[in-house]
Amino acid sequence: MDFKEFKEFSADMINYVGNYLENIRDRKVLSSVKPGYLRPLLPAEAPNDPENWKDVMNDVEKLIMPGVTHWHSPRFHAYFPTANSYPAIVADILSDSIACIGFSWISSPACTELEVVMMDWLAKMIGLPEMFLASAGQGGGGVIQGTASEATLVALLGAKARMLQKIKATDPAIVDSDVVPKLVAYSSELSHSSVERAGLLGGVLLRAVATDGEHKLRGDTLRDIIRKDRADGLIPFFVVATLGTTSCCSFDRLDEIAEVGKEEDIWVHVDAAYAGSSFVCPEYRHYMKGVELVHSFNFNPHKWLQVTFDCSAMWLKNPNYVINAFNVDPLYLKHELEGQMPDYRHWQIPLGRRFRSLKMWFVFRLIGVANLQKSIRKDINLAHEFASRLENNPNFELFNEVTMGLVCFRIKGSNEINEALLKKINDRGKIYMVPSKVKGSFFLRMAICSKYTQMEDINVTWNEVKEAGEIIMSNEK
Amino acid sequence: MDFKEFKEFSADMINYVGNYLENIRDRKVLSSVKPGYLRPLLPAEAPNDPENWKDVMNDVEKLIMPGVTHWHSPRFHAYFPTANSYPAIVADILSDSIACIGFSWISSPACTELEVVMMDWLAKMIGLPEMFLASAGQGGGGVIQGTASEATLVALLGAKARMLQKIKATDPAIVDSDVVPKLVAYSSELSHSSVERAGLLGGVLLRAVATDGEHKLRGDTLRDIIRKDRADGLIPFFVVATLGTTSCCSFDRLDEIAEVGKEEDIWVHVDAAYAGSSFVCPEYRHYMKGVELVHSFNFNPHKWLQVTFDCSAMWLKNPNYVINAFNVDPLYLKHELEGQMPDYRHWQIPLGRRFRSLKMWFVFRLIGVANLQKSIRKDINLAHEFASRLENNPNFELFNEVTMGLVCFRIKGSNEINEALLKKINDRGKIYMVPSKVKGSFFLRMAICSKYTQMEDINVTWNEVKEAGEIIMSNEK
């Protein structure tokens, strides 16, 4: 494909995707294909000779779109949002074209340096303490990870390295296998599945700790279990505080957990994957109280801050634990100017990394902080609007308080009736939701996921829920 | 940013990146900025109000490009190639716009299904055995990982799960901590740094095994060390065979290693990160002899097959070990149609995943297998051309046989003189190389990295090497 064809093809694609997004409300949100739909429609092998790009373009609408679940439809209320914006799409064109691999500073200085500055910009945007800013010169700084799962694993491995170092310093005869089987990490019972997985991958015991009546992990509960574990000869080393759980968007009491972390000298990691974006609005920062005591903090601009996947923002107070744990440098990766700027390969699981900070730079400059705030506030307001309809209807109840763009609700009744409600709603095909279950109670999650969602969409969603509820209730009688 | 501005901005960007790539030969390959160059040129904070896209566009050339090391310049001979192509760039526009997260089949069926079929296409393109094809229905199949580092870690964790399961089946009283400290994995002493890191992350002993005179890991050496380890009470469970080492592109003897793996019942993983792309050409497939006996196979189309980063292709003979090791499913990720198609979240470390198979589909269809083969053969021919210049010059020697697009060479003399040679070459600023050191011998690596590289570029590179060599030699006298 030559430059001329590239211009034609990309112009056609830009026109296609713009029309796709601007009219996404008209598409059926959930794909209705059956498993295995695609293979019979494709050749069994790659072609030997190049095809015409117009044929590929036609196949996108014909073969791919029927199998797409439209995450940016205002009718999509499942999971949590994933970001999308025109500036981020254009930034990726540039990133894909420069196509450098930023594993060290020298491998493309701009790739590292823009990331350092963008992570400082973002830290300021959400009001993180100075210790996390590279510009503060206190040793802390930020890095873009692929996902919050990876950030949690990196934090856990850093914490593990820190505790091993601390214990070995007391007695040079101690080896890893004396310590590792005794290490114990903690998170709320409602923390994300990736936290449990990080424990599995890191080869350490991870305790899911009970939450209070508002589904928050509390300091006293954590302190009690840590002390009991110590009494039993275990070695507490790491706790994850979740700000905005996936199950029901509850917020662990970071102020209390951070105090316990300090008392007990264990690494506190904050997983604010979804809700962290809301901290661009000062009125939500109270959830971060205690953050000046934590060791690492992570949230996903690729969820709710208009930076397309993948861009998971992580800050470390002292990156050296992670850097030393991961450093296995061969000669071909070393360079003369090491140590003056981060070599980000030491901050992450993979070696390779794309020029992802361009997306942040484009989005922050071309959308601006005020519009990012406005968009977050719009989503939260719409969630409250939906919640108020539920509250004014005798059939429904909220599962818990609405804090962000997620409403957790159920029909007043059994789990079975709520399972039937979810099935009815999704089978009707107008909107898409997923369920959750907390402390034995099954409920539906209505997440505001699209930047296109407006009040008219909430009307549609509410009507769907209400009508499906009426059908289910009448079937019950 | 509205649709109209998006069209203007993206058209301008496409024009910019096309001109960048078509004229990349004219840019100085290695950035000459000093660490910290960028921060003083940027505001300390993100803007409150949106800026004009034209200002951002201007800043790309003014602020970013001076800090870019141009990986696609024909003068770039460092590391290994990273891929780039117009079809892949356009595919990413589509992927970024659909912006679905493909962690389960239902979350966007096309995202999973196209990946299943593309991994089959690619397996056929490189001549992998049937057991790795999803269409063969033998339980095997492929998955796109972010990097080879992650693929190695996934394979190691799968192998660990398999061995734990096998040993526990013999005695239900056995627990993980009885086994894990005894587990031992193997790779060549020249395997990639990410293999050592996978051992660290997986919490198991990894032995770097000595290679033969041609820098290949041999079956007999491996067998001896495994038997000695067993005699010492250890539990061998995993071996990585590298096809095309990063240090010097040597190929472990997979035929022998696979036999040992079979005899000893340990998981054999193939890391063909760079060289795997060459197997689209049948004449290089002899390096894969024995592949029908391995458990997992990985290479990076994002290196040498024109699919932009990230796209690391991994096949598993029996994905269930990995799936079961990683499965920590909460209710909100479950769906009714589980089990009929892969839920790829169980095949990888992170939860989230982009629609990356679109890049493979676009590249394979719009470039075609014949052109991909042609491009690989061109690069290998150019490497041989460069090698023949070296061999005809009395000052230089090849470090080892040239097999792919990498030439490892040195001045006949000390390591110090070769360190001086590398410094001289890179300081002159026309071309960029990195060194390696194998068995105490320091040498330079000349990798063919750009699809734009032609014979005229080899002339330039050779002249640079020759002249730098003459200067160094005359300084020595």
SS3 for chain A, per residue? CCHHHHHHHHHHHHHHHHHHHHCHHHCCCCCCCCCCCCHHHCCCCCCCCCCCHHHHHHHHHHHHHHHCCCCCCCCECCCCCCCCCHHHHHHHHHHHHHCCCCCCCCCCHHHHHHHHHHHHHHHHHCCCCHHHCHHHCCCCEEEEECCHHHHHHHHHHHHHHHHHHHHHHHCCCCCHHHHHHHEEEEEECCCCHHHHHHHHHHCCEEEEECCCCCCCCCHHHHHHHHHHHHHCCCEEEEEEEEECCCCCCCECCHHHHHHHHHHHCCEEEEECCCHHHHHHCHHHHHHHCCHHHCCEEEECHHHHCCCCCCCEEEEECCCHHHHHHHCCCCHHHCCCCCCCCCCHHHHCCCCCCCCCHHHHHHHHHHHCHHHHHHHHHHHHHHHHHHHHHHHCCCCEEECCCCCCCEEEEEECCCHHHHHHHHHHHHHHCCCECEEEEECCEEEEEEECCCCCCCHHHHHHHHHHHHHHHHHHHHHHC
- Is pLDDT of A19 > 80? yes
CATH top-level class of A3-68: mainly alpha
- Is pLDDT of A325 > 90? no
Is the separation of the CB atoms in B134 and B298 below 8 Å? Answer: no
Contacts 24+ apart (CB under 8 A), B41-47: B42/A117, B44/A120, B44/A135, B45/A121, B45/A124, B45/A125, B46/A121, B46/A122, B46/A124, B46/A125, B46/A364, B46/A365, B46/A368, B46/A369, B47/A364, B47/A365, B47/A368, B47/A369
Is the separation of the CB atoms in B395 and B469 below 8 Å? Answer: yes
Query: Does B437 contact A35 at a Cβ distance shorter than 8 Å?
Result: no
Q: For position A475, what pLDDT does the model report?
A: 85
Tell me the count of A-B CB pairs closer than 8 A.
430
Query: Does A50 contact B368 at a Cβ distance shorter than 8 Å?
Result: yes
Q: Which residues of B touch A124 (CB under 8 A)?
A: 45-46
Q: How confident is the model at residue A59 (pLDDT cuts 50, 70, 90)?
A: very high
Query: Does B147 contact A3 at a Cβ distance shorter than 8 Å?
Result: no
What is the tens place of the pLDDT at every residue in A68-114?
Answer: 999 999 999 999 999 999 999 999 999 999 999 999 999 999 999 99
> What is the rounded average pLDDT for all residues in chain A?
95
Q: For position A269, what pLDDT does the model report?
A: 98
- Is pLDDT of A332 > 90? no
The domain locations on chain A are 3-68, 369-476
Testing the interface with B: which of A21, A309, A353 to mutate, by most B Cβ within 10 A?
Answer: A309
Query: Does A309 contact B101 at a Cβ distance shorter than 8 Å?
Result: yes
Q: Which residues of B touch A310 (CB under 8 A)?
A: 352, 354
Residue whose C-alpha is closest to residue B449's, from A101, A433, A88: A101
**Which of B38, B96, B120 lies at the smallest CB-CB distance from A110?**
B38
Q: Which residues of B touch A361 (CB under 8 A)?
A: 56
Complex ipTM, two decimals?
Answer: 0.96
**Which of B87, B117, B328 lies at the smallest CB-CB distance from A38?**
B117
Is the separation of the CB atoms in A139 and A318 below 8 Å? Answer: yes
Chain mean position to CA B429: 26
Q: What is the identity of the amino acid at B280? A: V
Residue B409 backbone dihedrals phi, psi, to 5 degrees? -145, 170
Q: Which residues contact B171 (CB under 8 A, 6 or more apart)?
A: none
**Chain A closest CA to B331's CA: distance in Å?**
6
Q: Which residues of A touch B135 (CB under 8 A)?
A: 39, 44
**Which of B46, B94, B110 lies at the smallest CB-CB distance from A369?**
B46
Residue whose C-alpha is closest to residue B142's, from B314, B291, B328: B314
Q: Which residues of A touch B244 (CB under 8 A)?
A: none
Q: For position A326, what pLDDT does the model report?
A: 73
**B33: DSSP letter:** P
Q: For position A476, what pLDDT does the model report?
A: 76
Q: Any idea which residue has 């170092």 for tokens?
A: A165
For chain B, which residues score pLDDT lower than 50?
Answer: none
SS3 category, B191: coil
Q: Which residues of B touch A150 (CB under 8 A)?
A: 349-350
SS3 category, B51: coil
**Chain B closest CA to A358's CA: distance in Å?**
9
Q: For position B319, what pLDDT does the model report?
A: 94
- Is pLDDT of A477 > 90? no
Q: Which residue of B has its CA nearest to A136?
A: B44
**Chain B closest CA to A9's CA: distance in Å?**
7
Mean pLDDT of A363-370: 98
* Measured CA distances, B82 to A107, A352, B73, B215 (Å): 12, 10, 11, 24
**Which of B72, B121, B352 lies at the smallest CB-CB distance from A45?**
B121
Query: Does A108 contact B196 at a Cβ distance shorter than 8 Å?
Result: no
For residue B441, the tally of other CB atoms under 10 A from its CB is 14
Query: Does B31 contact A108 at a Cβ distance shorter than 8 Å?
Result: yes
**Which of B64, B337, B371 lies at the smallest CB-CB distance from A50?**
B371
Tell me which H or E stretch contains B475. helix B455-476
Q: For position B176, what pLDDT does the model report?
A: 86
Q: Which residue of A has its CA nearest to B369?
A: A48
B369-476 is classed in which CATH architecture? Alpha-Beta Complex (3.90)
Query: Does B436 contact A194 at a Cβ distance shorter than 8 Å?
Result: no
Q: For position B13, what pLDDT does the model report?
A: 98
Q: Which residues of A touch B323 (CB under 8 A)?
A: none
Query: Does A147 contact B351 at a Cβ distance shorter than 8 Å?
Result: yes
Residues in chain A: 477
Q: Which residues contact B12 (CB under 8 A, 6 or more apart)?
A: B53, B54, B57
A447-A452-A453 Cα angle (round to 5): 40
Mean pLDDT of A449-468: 96
Is the separation of the CB atoms in B261 and B294 below 8 Å? Answer: yes
Tell me which H or E stretch contains B394. none
**Chain A closest CA to B142's CA: distance in Å?**
15
Could you give the angle at which helices B3-22 and A86-98 cross, rounded to 10 degrees? Answer: 10
Is the separation of the CB atoms in B435 and B443 below 8 Å? Answer: yes
For residue A137, the tally of other CB atoms under 10 A from its CB is 9
Query: Cα separation of A74 and B164, whole Å?
Result: 46
Q: For position A328, what pLDDT does the model report?
A: 72
Q: For position B167, what pLDDT does the model report?
A: 95
